Every structure is written in structure tokens, then in C-alpha cells.
Chain A
Amino acid sequence: MNKFLQRWTVFAGLVVVWQLLGMFAEDPFFPPPSDIVTAAWEWWVLEPRNVTEHILPSIGRLLSGWAIASVIGVALGLLLGRSDRAMEYAGPLLVFLRSIPPPALVPVFLLLFKTGTPMQLATIIFGVIWPVLLNSVDGARSVDVTKVDTSAVFQIPRYQWVLGVVLPAASPKIFAGLRVSLSLSLVLMVISELVGTDNGIGSQLIQAQREFDYTRMWAGIVLLGVLGYGLNTVLLAVERRALAWQPRSRDEQHA
């Protein structure tokens, strides 16, 4: 309970300050949090059409883009990480591609896919694949020599080598990449919805701004914050379960 208070005091304090300032200043650009929360509740929760037409499609694109990027990133990363030669060939290309800011490719994807979900997915996938891919490469390289030798001596089948040795050995690094990618997915989801569509949280954000409905705009921003926080919390819980095998430092000293 103490910990909970400690963690949320600053957050709650800032909200209270904003509330007071907002109430006195009556600035249309910065409505008080109470108005924002009310608007968010009415707009995003009580309006079923907004849930089905904007929130769910947005989350769907975010999650499927992230999932596709993760699968490709992990598979490719493990492959490249276990082959020095492949990495020598692909390394410079990866560094180059990773350096391109993903939003810069939105026009390209617009040309390729027109507007709509394929273009949005392409933007998300291209943007978030790099942290997963590069972390998987790093993780796959970190399998220590004794484990490689042990696997070779016991002549284990190839699938067991990949899924039973390389993947678990790389998993702490992979999860670090997945977390970065997930928060990037949210960013790119919004960016991909800002142009050429009237569907999704991002499009509603830009529409509210154009209609000078700043309270609704803030409500969208709050929704994105809640969404990002929730997704990260879920992923952290999954990670904690998946990596429960990791020796905790105190136990390790016992060995």
C-alpha cells in the first residue's frame, strides 16, 4: 500500500495542480482533467460506435502489426545471430534500414498500398521490427560455448537446438526488444492513422483538433496513455512468467 502511494503521489499531484490551474485559467486549449475524463468517458466508453469503429480497429492493427513484426524479427534474428557469415552480409543493410525514421516511409507505403489497413500495418511492422530483430541477433549470439558443445555432443535434433537452446538463451534479450517494440507500435499506429483515414483513434484525434474540440482531443490522448500503460503492464506480467527460470542474484551466490 505504501509502495502504491509512493508510486502514484507525483502523478496524482500533477493532476490536481492541472485541475486547479485549468479551473482558474479557463484556457480552451488546456481544459481541466475533470472535463477531459468526462469527455473521454462519454466519447470513448458510452458511445459503442466509437469502440467498434475506432478503438478496436486501432488496437487490432497495433497488436497484429506488432505480432507480425515480432515473429519475423525473432525468426530472422535467431537465424542471423547463429551465422557469422549471414550477419557479415546483412549487418550493414540492417543498420541502414533501422536508421530510416519509419514515418518517412508513410508516403511510400501510401503509394504501395493506398490508404487503409495494409498501409497502416506496413508502417507499424517496418517501424517496430528493428528492436526485436537486433535484440534477437544479440541474444542468439550470446549462447555460451559450453551449451553449444553440450548440444553438439548429445546430437540433439535441429528443432530442439533452435527452440530448446537458442530461443530460451536469447529470450531475456528478446523480451527487452519486444517491450521497446510494443511502445513504438502505439506511436506508429497513431502516425499511420493521421493521414488518409477517418477510422481509428489517431484519426479521431486529428479530427477533434480540426473541429476545435480540444477536450475531445485531450480525451484521445488520455486514452492512448491508458492503452500504452495497460499493454506494457500485460507484457511485463507475461515476461515475468516466461523468464521465471532466470537465477535471481541471491540464489546464484549459493551455487
Chain B
Amino acid sequence: MSNMLEVADLGHTYGDYEAIGGLTFTVRAGELVCVVGPSGCGKSTLLRTISGLIAPSRGDVSLNGSHLAVVFQDYSRSLFPWLSVQGNVEFPLRSLPRAERRARAAEALEWVGLGAAAKKRPWQLSGGMQQRVAIARALAYRPALLLMDEPFASVDAQTRFELEDLLLRVRREHDTTVLVVTHDIDESVYLGDRILVLSGSPAKLVADLEVPLPAERDQVTTRTDEAFVALRSKVARLLNVGGKPTMDVDKWAAAERESLSETVSS
């Protein structure tokens, strides 16, 4: 499998403050990789350097393709209120002929289940639907890599589960390569084929873990799967390295597994 993204010894400093300290990793074509790390560990800087919004202080980012798309956490600010939903999805396609632009936008909106909302304004939709518009816009652009910055951190838990499953479905159907940056351990395990665990500032790669779960995932059964729980504990333990022991991760995981299986059986 070819590499879609290669990051070599990427480092970035703001003045004296070192945000990222030499990261090396690759993302293979069609893969969904989650980058997980504590809040303020330099994840956003990593995302901004990969997407080209800032030039890194050192190291290389090479993308196997001409362009990438980003889905930001703050969907309400990322979408343009003066454009319709359709207009927002067409936004990155201005160089294409009108008819093709139309067709691509309509298609992408169908993929995220918003075909009927094309004429509405984004702010007339719920938060989850707005983030779906942002995802459709990114997909319509047909990026070599889809970058997502805490994409589901601003929606409620129920919507979050829906959006996670939507992401898994569309990336499977369209063979999209995805890099999700998140601070949520559960989310990284649930979504990822692979997890990159980062330490606190400056961000360094602590572990590169394969997720031993089947491609088909389910919010209830996957989350109670032995492999899921074991990996989640492992990531949590890795993230606690060097930090204060805040809780007994294994005990917490076991307790949660029990409570989850209770809700399933009832």
C-alpha cells in the first residue's frame, strides 16, 4: 500500500516554546489514523503544519496528491452563513465548470444524508447537521487526505456517535484517507485503524498502535469488545506516562465495561 502522507522529523517552535519535537510517521492510502494526546500538547500545531497553514520550523511533510481538506471543530465558524448549504459544499470547487460543481456538491450531500437540505442556510441546521455539511464540503473536494481537528468535540454525545459512524461509512464507501486529531481516547480507538499517541509538550510520538478491531464497528458491541477495552486502557496508560496518577485506569475501564453491559442487557 502506498503512503498518502509522510511526516519526517517534523518540529515546530514558537519563539522559545517548542510545540512539536521531531515527529516521524506515515499514513497509508485508505487508512484512518487517529492522533491522540493530552490537551495543549501541540496537536493543533501538528494539524496546522500538515495542512500548510503554518510552515514548520524543521522537518518535512509530503503529501501524495495535490490537495487536502480540513474539517474544523468549530463548524459554525468554518461554514459561510451567506452561502446556502449547497453553496458551501461548492465553495472549494470554483475552478470547475458550473454543472460539474453542482453535481459533485449534490453527490457529496447525498453521501452525508443531507440531499434535502441543499437550499437551506447552514445556520438553519442543527450542530450535527452543520458538521455533516463541513464533511460533505471536504469530500466534494476529493482530497488526497482528509484532516479532522477534534471534529466531534462540539456536539452532544448522541450526535457524536452518529457522526462517528457516518465518518466510518463514508470513508469506507469512498476509500478516503483520514487523519483525525482528537483528545478523546475512546473516539481514537473506535474510529482508528491505527493510533498515534503523543506525549505532552513538546509533542513527541510515544506509540504507534494498530487497532485490532474489524472494519465494521458498532457503537454498542465494539465499545464492549475485549480488544477495544484493552487498547483503550493501554492508550490511557501511555498518556499518563510522566503525569500525575489521576485514576486507576484498569479499574475504571472494568467498571465502565460492567455498566455498559448492564445497559445492553436491560
| Chain A residues within CB distance 8 Å of chain B | 144-147, 149-150, 152-157, 160, 164-165, 168-169, 171, 245-247, 251-252, 254-255
B70 within 8 A of A: yes
A162 vs chain B, min Cβ distance (A): 13
> Are the CB atoms of B77 and A147 closer together than 8 Å?
yes
B224 within 8 A of A: no
Docked CA distance A160–B141 (Å): 16
CB-defined contacts of A153 to chain B, threshold 8 Å:
51-53, 68-70
Which of A146, A149, A153, A255 has most B Cβ within 10 Å?
A153
Docked CA distance A20–B144 (Å): 80
Q: 13 other contacts beyond A146-B72, A154-B69, with CB at 8 A cut-off? A: A145-B77, A149-B72, A150-B70, A154-B91, A157-B94, A160-B94, A169-B82, A171-B82, A245-B81, A251-B124, A254-B126, A255-B124, A255-B125
Q: By DSSP majority rule, is chain B's interface helix, strand, loop, or mixed?
A: loop
Interface size class of B (residues with CB under 8 A): 20 to 34
CB-defined contacts of A145 to chain B, threshold 8 Å:
77
Docked CA distance A169–B76 (Å): 14
B6 within 8 A of A: no
CB pairs A–B below 8 angstroms (5 shown): A146-B77, A152-B53, A153-B52, A160-B94, A255-B123
> Are the CB atoms of B127 and A255 closer together than 8 Å?
yes
Supposing A149-B53, A152-B53, A255-B123 touch, asked if A157 and B95 sit within 8 A by C-beta, the answer is: yes
B107 within 8 A of A: no
Supposing A144-B77, A149-B53, A153-B69 touch, asked if A247 and B130 sit within 8 A by C-beta, the answer is: no
CB-defined contacts of A160 to chain B, threshold 8 Å:
94
Docked CA distance A248–B124 (Å): 10
Taking a contact as CB atoms closer than 8 A, the residue among A144, A149, A154, A255 that contacts B141 in the complex is A154
Closest to A167 in B: B82
